[in-house]
Structure 1
Amino acid sequence: MNPINHLSGIFLLFVLLTSCVPKEEKPSQPNVLFICVDDLRTELGCYGNKHIKSPNLDKLAGSGFLFTRHYVTVPTCGASRHSLLTGQLPVSKAYLKNGITSQVIAGQPEKEVPETFIHHLKRNGYYTVGIGKISHHPDGYVYGYMEPRSEQLELPHSWDEMLLDDKKWGSGHNAFFGYADGSNRNTLNKEVYPYEMADVPDEGYPDGLTANLAIEKLKELKGKNQPFFLGLGFFKPHLPFTAPKKYWDLYNRDEIPLAPFAGIPENSSKASLHGSGEFNQYKLGEEKASLDGPVSDAYARKVRHGYFACVSYIDAQIGKVLDELERQGLAENTIVVVWGDHGWHLGDHLVWGKHTVFDRALHSAFFMRVPGMENGKQINKVVSTADIYPTLIDLCNTPVQHHLDGESLKPLFQNPEDNNWRNTAYSYWNNGFSVRTPEYRLMRYYRKEAPEFELYNHNTDGNETVNIAAEQPEVMKTLLPVLEMGNTVAEYGK
């Protein structure tokens, strides 16, 4: 036999045999679609609010993991997002300010420790795109409200692309406070209304354009031979409450519920609240909010109507993006996250705004759909925004070596009743901080005004109407050590 033919036959037999053996394929890394929604409290149908129209978000929450007790670390946009992006609790009062990311990250050289979890994913092979408000600045670039856009990225090492369609308004800041005619709060010196109902298509306001950008970008990302992170930051329902007329028309104003408790809690103080300065700076508003008493029922319903319309408007934009994710065949391998950067008092406790350590300002929407896991679960454990960073790097199989203050939520996906979960969330504001447990919220303030402590029982007083700290010494004795474990702000108590 010809030895060459003999060897060829052996080789052919080897190929045939080995081709029959199944190969162990390395699982591909999941894509991430991370949707940030400004000022989105749990005002959604999936949280049991029957008055709100949010079908797309409700559908997503029902097909994923819905967190009923998610609390942000700081009730203001920039600082809350900084905690999200870095996985850290605040360490000084500077970390409670909107400008903290531009102060400590923008303009800095690349370091061994990643600047954000997005930076970490980028280092690990992800193509990263940001559209809209992900960090504090609406378009991701650092500049003042009345200045032209700079070329300094707020997160210089996190993005392959950072996008916003703001041409109608002239800058990201103008678009963020924009009205349908192309005007904005900034250049009009705040001589504007805190709401607007314009008979325009979705693209008449910035968030409709953001959804369109995301749809086009998904088509491009499908063709890339690498996993992607797409951060999508919607402006509404942040003030001003501006949305196309068709979303206002979804509601009968007379049927819109008022805040369940519009007053200062018993045994509390005005010092624990604020005078709604952000809301009141819209100079054409018909009434001014005050801690001396509520606005009229008619005006409260009008403003709440605007907030609800904005939620429905954003719900529709998110629905368009999710539909495109399905059309492109990307949904089965894409983690989808929806996160509200904090809550908002809609007249609750006489406040119109965030900036308190009450539940209304700290409790925000958070849910996610995770490929390859048993979705469709409601998780009632207390979780923090600081837990999102470790969760994503866990799900994306990209571990980090540095310390994070949060914990991966993956054990709760597998067992929502996991008794080993810590079940606490810490939050900071107003010269004080608080801890949320399943039953209580305990606050401590470092200030001249009494009280120093406030305690609310959420089993019996979900609207936080009566401070029971003085009446419950045994509960205080149990919770004070838990509270003090979260005293991370260097100036507190010094």
Structure 2
Amino acid sequence: MRVGFPLNRFVLLIVLALPTTGISVAQVNEKARSKDSSRPNVLFIAVDDLRPQLGCYGDTVAHTPNIDRLAKIGIVFNRAYCQQAVCAPSRASVLTGRRPDATKVWDLKTHFRTALPHVVTLPQHFKQQGYDTRNVGKIYHDPKNAQDPISWSAPEIMAVTDEAGPKYVLTENLPTAGSWKAAATECVDVPDSAYVDGKVGNAAVELIEELKDTTFFLAVGFRRPHLPFTAPKRYWDLYDVDEIPLPAHDRAPENTPEIALHNSVELRGYTDIPDVGPMSSGKIRELRHGYYASVSYIDHQIGRLLDELERQNLLANTIIVLWSDHGYHLGELDLWSKTTNFELDTRVPLIIASPLFHHQHVHTDALVELVDLYPTLADLAGLPITDGLEGTSMAPLIANPNRTWKKAVFSQFPRPWMYQGEPEVMGYSVRTADYRYTEWISTNDKSVKAAELYHYNEGIETANLVDQATYSKKQAVLRRLLHDGWKKARPGNAGKSASSKKH
């Protein structure tokens, strides 16, 4: 059954009349952006490097009252997964509704339009349907050449870090010639707007007021808690550093192949972090403290957006989605940052609140993927779902969070990392309710270079069980799931892949 708002017939009539009336495209866009109370707005909030370290996900240390407030009126997806655990590939996947092997974005430099020059992105689709689409902060990856102006109704605001505002405040931490990294953390008693994300919050609040009389798709992207962990002092003060827990599992899983791991190069480049070798427990606590402080800093910005929606009487007619491009390691498995197929890197927070449903404290354990967001938001807004999408509309699941859903979800990561072009080896990973199976496959001869099998009885990878006799049947089932791919893992009778819907 189709779940959604009715299409804007007024806009459709204008478009159909174009050839004979002589109305300009600019006039059509202006009329299309006039307020239609029958269609919901969309507030699309992206947070970089945010793992489910939030109160609404059961973290008892985190101070995240505003994200928790959103969770109370929406649905919390306990088992949501990205398609590749690093910024550019994940964001390209979300915004095109295609998986990394379709976008050909496996690194930080390739633009998705190189392989898909005519693809209609998620915001572009809403724009074509008459929405005023705007962007504040990091939605596509940061560099200028990674942006996509055709997606938006107006130029992006603070979409590139160097133009958006500082990562640091202290003079000694400001980048110098030939260097772009300083300390991994910074704690200074300054206003929120001293750092980039406070500026993004300010601009987003102003845009909500500007757009209140239109039907809008507003994308707001926050950069913290990405390194460096820099946030105003008042967010650090929410935590007692001695109560910040150390990583529960701080060593690599037993029998795990070297190709599955990495050397935490993203963190090691900071000036107060040793290039190699272990870090002190004090430094580990400081980093984890900084991560929590950065999360709370972003939580406050999100609260400001919710407050402004409420002040403008928009909360009751706005779909709100909060997502992160990937997860993160904070010393678990002796890893920092992302770029693996492990659970902490691929699992992400995902919360959706829709005016169609009146959820209260609702969680679902259904397996879902970020690539599902494109068809889901189109479905919830009553828009046609474009051909070629590789995700599944979650609207039926949002309507009934306890229904049977996907058998499995899929992630991947290349080796070597940061290699532009087709990688030498790709690690393809399938996650079911209790297991993960990964194969590292040569792109040249398709041979399997290594394999991994994990049972999540402890919630994290502890030992690679591949080729153990006890798990041989389970391994065979998971291998078949991996090779059958995402199309055969979809729900059986509802929530079909958007690519199978014809409009």
The one-letter code sitting in structure 2 at the alignment partner of 1:478 is: V
Q: Which residue of 2 aligns with 1:159?
A: 152
Partners of 1:450 and 1:254 in 2: CA distance:
45
Cα contact 1:69–1:381 (8 A) shared by 2: yes
1:406 matched to 2:396? The reply is no
The one-letter code sitting in structure 2 at the alignment partner of 1:391 is: T
Q: Which residue of 2 aligns with 1:242?
A: 230
Shift in Å, 1:397:
1.0
Stretch deviating more after TM superposition (38-47 or 397-406): 397-406
1:229 matched to 2:217? The reply is yes
Partners of 2:235 and 2:75 in 1: CA distance:
27
Q: Which residue of 2 aligns with 1:142?
A: 145
Alignment of 1:102-121 (within 5 A): 104=114, 111=118, 113-114=119-120, 116-121=121-126
Partners of 1:480 and 1:197 in 2: CA distance:
47
Q: Which residue of 2 aligns with 1:351?
A: 335
Q: Deviations over 1:24-81 (max 9, x none)?
A: xx97110000000000011101111101111100111121010000000010101100
Q: Which residue of 2 aligns with 1:95?
A: 105
1:437 matched to 2:426? The reply is no
2:131 to 126, 133, 151: 126
Q: Deviations over 1:322-350 (max 9, x none)?
A: 10110000000000110011001101111
The one-letter code sitting in structure 2 at the alignment partner of 1:63 is: I
Q: Deviations over 1:321-380 (max 9, x none)?
A: 110110000000000110011001101111111000001111111101100213122011
Cα contact 2:269–2:275 (8 A) shared by 1: no
Percent identity among equivalent residues?
40
Alignment of 1:73-472 (within 5 A): 73-91=83-101, 94-101=104-111, 104=114, 111=118, 113-114=119-120, 116-137=121-142, 141-142=144-145, 154-165=147-158, 172-173=161-162, 175=164, 178-181=167-170, 184-185=174-175, 187=177, 189-190=179-180, 192-224=182-214, 227-282=215-270, 284-288=271-275, 290=277, 294-376=278-360, 377-419=362-404, 421-430=405-414, 431-446=426-441, 452-458=450-456, 460-471=457-468, 472=471
Query: Pairwise CA RMSD of aligned residues?
Result: 2.4
Q: Which residue of 2 aligns with 1:67?
A: 77
Partners of 2:102 and 2:131 in 1: CA distance:
32
Q: Which residue of 2 aligns with 1:21?
A: none
Alignment of 1:476-487 (within 5 A): 476-486=475-485
Q: Which residue of 2 aligns with 1:10?
A: none
Cα contact 1:434–1:441 (8 A) shared by 2: yes
Change in CA separation of 1:334 and 1:352 when aligned onto 2, cut-off 3 Å: same
Shift in Å, 1:256:
0.4
Q: Deviations over 1:222-242 (max 9, x none)?
A: 133xx1000000010011110
Partners of 1:425 and 1:331 in 2: CA distance:
32
Partners of 1:319 and 1:136 in 2: CA distance:
24
Q: Which residue of 1 aligns with 2:499?
A: none
The one-letter code sitting in structure 2 at the alignment partner of 1:386 is: V
Cα contact 1:176–1:235 (8 A) shared by 2: no
Partners of 1:288 and 1:254 in 2: CA distance:
26
The one-letter code sitting in structure 2 at the alignment partner of 1:313 is: Y
Partners of 1:288 and 1:301 in 2: CA distance:
18
Partners of 1:451 and 1:142 in 2: CA distance:
34
Larger radius of gyration: 1
Partners of 1:281 and 1:31 in 2: CA distance:
41
Q: Which residue of 1 aligns with 2:38?
A: 28
Shift in Å, 1:295:
2.1
The one-letter code sitting in structure 2 at the alignment partner of 1:194 is: A
The one-letter code sitting in structure 2 at the alignment partner of 1:200 is: V
Cα contact 2:149–2:155 (8 A) shared by 1: no
Shift in Å, 1:187:
4.4
Shift in Å, 1:162:
3.3
Q: Deviations over 1:454-485 (max 9, x none)?
A: 11112x13111111122210101111111112
Partners of 2:255 and 2:436 in 1: CA distance:
15
Stretch deviating more after TM superposition (199-208 or 410-419): 410-419
Q: Deviations over 1:289-309 (max 9, x none)?
A: 55xxx4221111011111111
TM-score using structure 1 length: 0.83
Cα contact 1:51–1:256 (8 A) shared by 2: yes
Partners of 2:76 and 2:322 in 1: CA distance:
10
What secondary structure is seen at the aligned counterpart in 1 of 2:320? Answer: strand
Cα contact 2:413–2:428 (8 A) shared by 1: yes
Shift in Å, 1:185:
4.2
Q: Deviations over 1:264-300 (max 9, x none)?
A: 1011133211001111111x2143455xxx4221111
Partners of 1:232 and 1:274 in 2: CA distance:
31
